[in-house]
Amino acid sequence: MTEPEKPVPRLSPPPAWRQELVRVIVVTTLALLVGAAFGHAMVGVCISLALFLGLYLRHLARLSAWLQRPKGLNLPEAGGVWGEVFDRLIDLQRRNRRKKKRLAGMLAEYQASTAALPDGAVVLGAYGEIAWFNQAAQVLLGLRGAADVGLRIPNLIRNPVFTDYFVRGDYSDPVEVLSPLNPRNTLSLHIIPYGNNQRLLIVRDISEFKRLETARRDFVANASHELRTPLTVLRGYLDMMEPELQRQEALALWRGPIAEMKAQAARMESLVRDMLRLARLEADTPARSEVLDVPAMLRRVVEDARALSHNEHRIEAEIDPDLRLLGDENDLQSVFTNLVSNAVRYTRKGGEIRIVWRAETDGAQFSVKDTGIGISEKDIPRLTERFYRVDVGRSRASGGTGLGLSIVKHALDRHEASLEIRSELGKGSTFICHFPASRLRAQGLPALTTAAAAKV
């Protein structure tokens, strides 16, 4: 049986430049022979080379003209290496057109999708100049189409809060400003850095949310205020009934229920009081600014803590006697009282509580450190939420309303201060209030008795 014949491989044509070189050699050789026949061999060679040079210059001129006007001119038909060059340029042009068309489609789809967003989007350059914005941004900020492209965004949103936010460069949280078109509306502005020193400004209308938040605050405040009268009446009747229960043995069965009713009424009064205080803190009214004798306030807080402790804790206080603070006395009294009373309530018998009021590098610091039950890491971010309880049963047993730390946070916000919480479950907690230097006032006064460590 004969083996099948193997296919003969086809030779690929030589590259165009090799064909061109062969053609030049052949033509030059023929010119040399013709010139030699007439006795002028070099003349024939020069004429042939001059013809090739002219042809090449002609192709170069057409290529240069086409590069300047690729859409208005067509490359000529040519053979050899020039034909290959022209074909590859035309193929490259077609591929670029397809890519450009695809990119234009993607850009149009992106712009259509961003135009459908209810939130405004503004693309900013390295210096804050507007590069592009969608329809929502034009409506929310009052931008004027192409006329505002290239202008710096701080020059269009003339709001001190936004200007400070833009210059500061800390874009971790958005800022709220009044709408430049309608002062009754509120906008949330959030800058997101990306790419090569570019930024994206997201604009959101939160007016309805703010109105709902205001309605909620008003409802809580009004409901809390209305509850005070019936609770006062209830407590009054319970107080009137208590002596009769003690004198008449026939009513002894009611002593327990009446005592429980009084305890629950007192807890309800405490809750209403905290809700009213929180509603006042959440209002937009600025805090009063008066120089407060913080050392004297803390001395009273330490005394109250000792009374609440019933000599069951070791309480130490380190207080700078000359460090005053500019602020609202009621607000800061709530801060100090809530933090210290929480430390007493959630620290076991025999535990230690340390209260510190001192200056720091960029302001002042009030801290309360205890050796209590501690808080798990997952619960710390939610501690300042309204009615949030780490342990519901234990909080109610200690008389807590779940609003103390929320009151602390809002009171500190009104004083440009911040709350830092450090805690480890089972090992205790530290609550630190950082006050800015602008709030500090110093005054030379005699040292207070609580400045030294007082042990109970």
Tell me what the mean pLDDT of segment 242-249 comes to.
Answer: 75
Sign of the Cα pseudo-torsion (283, 284, 286, 292, in order): positive
| Residue 278 sits in the same domain as residue 296 | no
d(CA 249, CA 251): 5
Q: Which of 22-26, 138-142, 281-285 has the highest mean pLDDT?
A: 138-142
Contact (Cβ atoms closer than 8 angstroms) between residue 428 and residue 272: no
What token pair was written down for 52?
């090739």
| Residue 315 sits in the same domain as residue 428 | yes
Could you report the per-residue pLDDT of 352-401, keeping only the tens digit for each?
999 999 988 888 999 999 988 888 888 888 888 777 666 644 444 455 56
Write down the pLDDT at residue 356. 93
Range of the domain at 413: 290-451
The total of structural domains in the chain comes to 3
88: how many CB neighbours lie within 10 A of its CB? 10
Asked whether residue 347 carries a pLDDT value surpassing 50, the answer given is: yes
Final residue of a structural domain among 237, 259, 282 = 282
| Residue 186 sits in the same domain as residue 321 | no
| Residue 298 sits in the same domain as residue 192 | no
Write down the pLDDT at residue 445. 40
Of 78-87, 113-122, 237-246, 307-316, least confident by mean pLDDT is 78-87
Contact (Cβ atoms closer than 8 angstroms) between residue 33 and residue 48: no
Write down the pLDDT at residue 369. 92
Nearest to 369 by CA among 319, 419, 431: 431
Write down the pLDDT at residue 15. 66
d(CA 137, CA 412): 34
| Residue 233 sits in the same domain as residue 150 | no
d(CA 45, CA 29): 8
Contact (Cβ atoms closer than 8 angstroms) between residue 29 and residue 41: no
Query: How big is the CA angle at 441 (ends 435 and 442), to the nearest 5 degrees?
Result: 120
Q: What Rg do the C-alpha atoms of the chain give, in angstroms?
A: 42
What token pair was written down for 192?
């997101």
Write down the pLDDT at residue 355. 92
d(CA 74, CA 86): 10
Residue at 77: amino acid letter: E
Q: Using the 8-state DSSP alphabet, how is residue 152 labeled? A: B
63: part of which helix (H) or strand (E)? helix 41-68
Final residue of a structural domain among 233, 249, 282 = 282
Alpha carbon distance, N-terminus to C-terminus of the chain: 114
| Residue 345 sits in the same domain as residue 447 | yes
| Residue 156 sits in the same domain as residue 226 | no
| Residue 359 sits in the same domain as residue 275 | no
Tell me what the mean pLDDT of segment 59-68 comes to.
Answer: 74
Tell me what the mean pLDDT of segment 24-36 comes to.
Answer: 72
Final residue of a structural domain among 144, 170, 205 = 205
Which CATH number covers residue 127?
3.30.450.20
Could you report the per-residue pLDDT of 304-323, keeping only the tens digit for each?
998 888 888 898 999 998 89
| Residue 313 sits in the same domain as residue 380 | yes
Which CATH number covers residue 379?
3.30.565.10
Beta strands in 305-378 (DSSP E): 314-319, 323-327, 352-360, 363-370
Contact (Cβ atoms closer than 8 angstroms) between residue 316 and residue 454: yes
| Residue 296 sits in the same domain as residue 442 | yes
Sign of the Cα pseudo-torsion (330, 332, 333, 339, in order): positive
Write down the pLDDT at residue 391. 61
